[in-house]
Amino acid sequence: MTIISEDLQQLLLAYCEPESELLKRIDRETQLKVLMPRMLSGHYQGRVLSMLSKLLAPKRILEIGTFTGYATLCLAEGLAKDGKLYTLDINIELEDMVRKNFADSEFNNQIEYIIGDATQTAPALDELFDLVFIDADKKNNGVYYDLIFDKIRPGGIIIVDNVLWSGKVLSNQQDKDTKNITTFNDKMVADTRVEQLILPVRDGLFIIRKK
């Protein structure tokens, strides 16, 4: 299921900020060299993440799921001058590519890239976050949410990717992955500690504000 038609998608791209040359390169190299390149956020979603980050001007950002670093750098665009972004990923095979991408950016000194299981590395972070982006293995969305909730300041934002799951969440007969997504979405609606809405951006972004 395509949420937005290709023609409308092209129009949206025409009216948003362009990609930097570095982001274009990361996109191109990911498409050519990495398995499942569709996991990359891409131009339009990247600009959405950048805008949300700039509106918050966060001092501390946490990203769970680095992939090749595209979304990381989009989020970093909004960091306060003395801000820091922690990005967690378990895929050691992409480490060299990701570190090069960060080194080529203006945000390299503000990014801490941590390899390992996020269920272990996230709890070890002694920080209070303004913004969290969860874009890792979808079955653990609820686990990550619970692990980091107390590490987010009141008024802080959690963004969760892929919550529309190519429209499969509309199906009455859901496979295991889709059921995991739906279970998480229902969990958010039932959580009285937050305000929430889903933006139909790409594959669905859940925007969750801690009260």
Terminal Cα-to-Cα distance of the chain (whole angstroms): 33
Distance (Å, whole) CA 37 – CA 14: 23
Buried b (16+ CB within 10 A) or exposed e, 140-162: bbbbbbebbbebbeeebbbbbbb
- Beta bridge mates, 87: 63, 113
* Residues 73-86, mean pLDDT to the nearest whole number: 98
pLDDT tens figures, 16-37: 999 999 999 999 999 999 999 9
Please name the residue that has the structure tokens 């959405």. 48
Q: pTM of the full predicted structure?
A: 0.96
Please name the residue that has the structure tokens 């919550």. 163
Helix/strand/coil for 34: coil
pLDDT tens figures, 123-155: 999 999 999 999 999 999 999 999 999 999 999
Task: Break the chain into its structural domains and give their ranges.
Answer: 6-210
Distance (Å, whole) CA 87 – CA 26: 17
pLDDT tens figures, 86-117: 999 999 999 999 999 999 999 999 999 999 99
* Residues 71-96, mean pLDDT to the nearest whole number: 98
CATH topology of domain 6-210: Rossmann fold (3.40.50)
Find all residues with CB under 8 Å of 177, minimum gap 6, and list them. 138, 139, 165
Distance (Å, whole) CA 189 – CA 71: 26
Residues in the chain: 211
